[in-house]
Amino acid sequence: MRVILQRVTSASVVIDDACVGQVGLGYLALVGFTHDDTEADIDYMVEKVKHLRVFSDDEGNMNRSLCDVHGSILSVSQFTLYADARKGRRPSFIQAMKPEQATQMYDLWNEKLRQAGIEVQTGIFGADMKVTLTNDGPVTICLESRK
């Protein structure tokens, strides 16, 4: 499982000219799954994201977590996180989980974030989405559930 976290002051996702999700302070989380990801990967990532200290404290140091700042997450599915562009000019996506399984994993990811007390807004799995964000810092963190 891969998650690209972007610390944001605001983010939104639009599909067919309609805003389907938006957040203020928090994260834009781009989320991708590979073939052998399991619920354990999701559990690990939920805890990592919830407690990662990348929000500024009163001295401007990255010492606060999403929980500390009462932030939200805009979660957007993104199979292209598993693109392999080492050969040729067109990326291969064979490492990305098949859509039938990935949509279930994405839904479980979002539900577990909510169960952890985080406000979550989402895009729509598989849709053509327009994502807008104001990256704060900028701070962008790449997370993997596997070593």
Report the catalytic residues: 78-80
The candidate with the shortest Cα–Cα distance to 42, out of 106, 109, 103, 101, is 109
Q: How far out from the chain centre does Cα 14 lie?
A: 16
Token representation of residue 84:
């392999």
The whole-angstrom separation of Cα 35 and Cα 133 is: 29
The candidate with the shortest Cα–Cα distance to 44, out of 118, 120, 109, is 109
Token representation of residue 17:
């000219």
CB of 31 closer than 8 Å to CB of 3? yes
Using CB atoms within 10 Å of the CB of residue 144, give its burial: 0 to 12 exposed, 13 to 18 middle, 19+ buried: middle
